[in-house]
A and B are shown apart, each in its own frame.
Chain A
Amino acid sequence: MDVLAILIDWAPYLLTGVLVTLGLVLSALGLGVVMGLPMALGQVYGSRPLRWIVGIYVWFFRGLPILVLLFLFYFGIFPGLGLGDVPAFVVGAVVLGLRGAAYQSQIFRGAIQSIGEGQMIAARSLGMSRLTAIRSIILPQSVRIALPGWSNEYPNILTDSAVCYAIGVAELLTRASQIVSQTHVTMPIYIATAGVFILLNYGGIRILHRLEKRIAIPGFGSGAV
């Protein structure tokens, strides 16, 4: 009964962490799309130097453990750029986003490359410029093809976000451990935290599935009838 009372007492504090965690996840996913999609286009259609630059980027951000990236940015790069006062939350969101962009660019690249060359040929034969063809024909198709793979980034980033504990972002895990040290109640707190993560995971995946269905096209990509 004691434990339950403690849990109820601290629930608001823990649940505020949901907002922080979701903030991390959404900024990471957003940055991932905003950067990852152009990077994928650059890798498929770009000049050799551009492809090279994207390749290095992807190699770097996929090659380092996320904790190492977080420390590099928090203790090195941000202060080095005179941004030492930036909240830890921002550093976490940026690192998750930059790393997400590396992974997501490869999801988008695969989708773009899976589109038959006939689509581009037909578009050009109608007088579309390459850019118009990419925007009007290639991108709408690649986004639909990429969505199932891209959705998988949500649970990845959600679970990765707990690493921001290490630089003191007040997300779910950080708050959980603070509650533990205040109350000396351990397992129930961590179990509750795990439950919150699982619910967030489930809810997000449901939403993404609904999105997949909404933009599905008969007989095309994942929307096959």
Chain B
Amino acid sequence: MSTNNYILNVEDIHKSFGNKEVLCGVSFGVRKGDTKVFIGPSGTGKSTLLRCINQLTPPDRGRVWLHGEEVTGSGPRINHFRQKIGMVFQNFFLFDHLSAIENVEIALLKVKKMKKEEAREKALSELRQVGLEDWADHYPAELSGGQAQRVSIARALAMDPDVILFDEPTSALDPELTREVLEVMRKLAQQGMTMLVVTHEMSFACSAATEILFMENGVIAEQGAPETLLSDPQYTRTRNFLGQLTD
């Protein structure tokens, strides 16, 4: 099932909440090193799509494959796939009772069963990667939003994932803090991390995306390289949406 060198395949995902169909058949493939940015109006299923990929929200129909192995319907093996599919949340969801470094190392200890020293070293190097090694012993309540989000990125990175899902990672941050988080994400993209990003930050989409996907009403309405999609959108709704953002 891994044609075209895709490491992640998403096939015909459907999801309804009650009577409302949020995702109506979404398919795409992701190559190693891709940064795919999902844009579009609120409520069009972008976040749900990310949660369908790691099964935090199991889809009603459709399949997800990682390296040719099916993620959907994988039962308890989902915990294995989730180690390979990192996730960064809008509201960080750092573990409130753990310091920054403990947040990064907890899954290394409890899931990967790493030795304590090894986990600490790994966690420290991930914190360094996001520029927070000096904040290792601070608790979430003592961090700014931007710092908290960078810790949560380090937490995802520590698992050595094949792909990281970013669910509106800067929507809870003011512009200055947004910048420091986007900088980290840009650096990751340059280093070849595979990323799926739901965001409203068009500057990031322009500069870091390998592809932009415009979603509306539960489907991918238009997709393409940033240069083409942003300068010459084929679809009126895309044009309108982009127009609103630049107003």
Contacts and interface: CB of A to CB of B under 8 A. Distances in A.
Nearest to B107: A126
Contacts of B225: none
Interface string B78-96: 0111110011010101111
Interface stretch (A11-19, A36-44, A73-81, A137-145): A137-145
Contact of B111 (A122, A132, A144): A132
Contacts of B155: 126
Interface of B: 54, 56, 76, 79-83, 86-87, 89, 91, 93-97, 106-107, 110-111, 139-142, 152, 155-156, 159
B139 A217 contact: yes
A218 B94 contact: no
A220 interface: yes
Interface in A177-225: 217-220, 225
B140 A219 contact: yes
A128 B139 contact: no
B82 A219 contact: no
Interface in A107-133: 116, 118-119, 121-129, 132
A141 to B, nearest CB: 5
B93 A121 contact: yes
Interface in A73-103: none
A122 B97 CA distance: 14
A222 to B, nearest CB: 12
A136 interface: yes
Contact of A218 (B89, B139, B159): B139
23 contacts: A116-B93, A119-B93, A122-B94, A123-B95, A123-B107, A124-B82, A126-B82, A126-B86, A126-B107, A126-B155, A127-B79, A127-B107, A127-B111, A127-B159, A128-B107, A129-B76, A129-B79, A132-B111, A136-B110, A140-B97, A219-B140, A220-B140, A225-B141
Nearest to B165: A125
Contacts of B106: 126, 136-137
Interface size class of A (residues with CB under 8 A): 20 to 34
Chain A facing B: main interface SS: helix
Given A127-B79, A218-B139, A118 B97 contact: no
Contacts of B76: 129
A128 B111 contact: yes
Given A217-B139, A218-B142, A125 B82 contact: yes
B89 A219 contact: no
A125 B56 contact: yes
A225 B141 CA distance: 10
B83 A126 contact: yes
A127 B108 CA distance: 10
A128 B56 contact: no
B95 A122 contact: yes
A141 B96 contact: yes
B142 A219 contact: yes
B29 to A, nearest CB: 22
- Chain A to chain B: the 3 pairs with minimum beta-carbon distance, closest first: A219-B141, A122-B93, A127-B83
Contact of A125 (B80, B87, B110, B139): B87
B110 A122 contact: no
Contacts of A128: 79, 107, 110-111
